[in-house]
Structure 1
Amino acid sequence: MDAQIKSLKPLPAPAEPSARPSREEAEAAVRTLIAWAGDDPDREGLRETPSRVVKAYGELFSGYGQDAREVLSKTFRDVGGYDDLVLVKDIPFYAHCEHHMVPFYGKAHIAYLPHDGVVGLSKLARLVEVFARRLQTQETMTAQIVDAINENLGPRGAAVLLEAEHMCMTMRGVKAHDVKTVTHRFTGVFAEDRREQDRFFAMVGHR
């Protein structure tokens, strides 16, 4: 008997991305959260809070409007033939956990081995800001920083290490204080040569 051919239902069209809410809608959402928390959004101390929160969010999550390619777009080739490790360490950052929307903060250490020029040192600090000022996980942020360096600078190798304290662990849940999370990622020469990894760890003071 011939196999019966069943017609397949077409796949549903992908959902259209929702439009960004207006400022008024965002402030109304803050009022709702204040009321849900058990307070009165109309009392004197809270009347202006929705406006302040929305303004603060514009700064805290400004990374969505920034482009890593633009930050790293200008490089310098006249560096006297320098081709050894470039390290910027102890870059402070403040981010927000995408699971609970509470802060995690710490320091970033970034190193790379130049291939065809170097980038301004301040640009590496700005690169951290691009990804820190979004809803994040520390693991994702680590990968995003090193990927941006590789894609835009084409170095012989890159190394990124983040160490941070997560308020979702200290303010809630297990309430574990003074606990730091460390993430790192190596690419190129750093991934291939353990000596370069050890040199990086020694220079950032992590071993």
Structure 2
Amino acid sequence: MDAIVTNFPRIDDQSDRPSQKEAEDAVRVLLRWAGDDPQREGLLDTPKRVAKAYRELFSGYELAAEDVLGRTFEEVAGYDDMVLVKDIPFFSHCEHHMVPIIGKAHVAYLPNGRVLGLSKIARVVEIFGRRLQTQETMTAQIAKSIDETLNPRGVAVMIEAEHMCMAMRGIQKQGSTTLTTTFTGAFKTEPTEQVRFMTLIRS
């Protein structure tokens, strides 16, 4: 996983970020390119709406997983067994076609003296989901960010998702699901931990 980049520069740090007007003008160009008239009544406010929606859909670029994962808890009464948060829904966008990826993530770790607030795990999924992504990269990014911040005995991440670039265009196969996994530490070296992770997800 060393080749996976977990931190992207925040857009606010980039001096060449386009203005709101430039973003809206770009949408008007696309509307014209698609064959419609940006000046017709139904499309007059579309550029503004699209720019606003993109701010929300790609808000993950303005956040860092390390900021969310920064606070951990040590008072766990000796608990050292698996912590699993499963069926975390997410929406992302394919970096190749900029169409939606819709799925759910299952994230587990084996504590090594410290634990995370459970909502933090879902928040990390959200941060990486709200960027242009490939599913493989997103899976590895979630695992690596938790592994590096918490230093647990192991991390396991599974993502199941449907890609609209396969359902809406190209091969047009609706309902097909892509599954990716990343394991670190004990989840990678001890097959029984992987089996337990998979069993708990399917139970």
Q: Which TM-score tier does this pair reach, normalised by the shorter chain?
A: over 0.9
Q: Over alpha carbons, which structure has the higher Rg? A: 1
Q: Please, which of 12, 19, 28 is the counterpart of residue 25 of structure 2?
A: 28
Q: Name the residue aligned to 2:82.
A: 85
Q: Deviations over 1:39-93 (max 9, x none)?
A: 0000000000000000000000000000111100011111111010000000000
Matched, 1:156 2:153: yes
Q: Does 1:50 align with 2:47?
A: yes
Q: What is the one-letter code of the residue matched to 1:198? A: V
Unaligned runs of 5+ in 1: 1-16
Aligned-pair CA distance for 1:116 = 2.3
2:168 matched to 1:182?
no
Aligned to 1:167: 164
RMSD over aligned CA atoms reads: 1.0
CA distance in structure 2 between the partners assigned to 1:103 and 1:77 by the alignment = 38
Q: Which runs of 4+ in 1 moved over 6 A?
A: none
The runs of 5 or more residues in structure 2 that have no matched partner are: 1-13
Paired residue secondary structure (1:179): coil
Count of residues paired in the alignment: 190
Normalising to structure 1: TM-score of the pair? 0.90
Q: Identity, % of aligned pairs?
A: 63
Cα separation, 2, equivalents of 1:35 and 1:92:
34
State the Cα distance separating 1:117 from its structure 2 match. 0.8
Q: Deviations over 1:121-174 (max 9, x none)?
A: 000000001100000000000000000011100000000000000000000000
Distance in 2 separating the partners of 1:49 and 1:28? 11
Matched, 1:138 2:173: no
Higher relative contact order structure (alpha carbons within 8 Å, sequence separation ≥ 6): 2
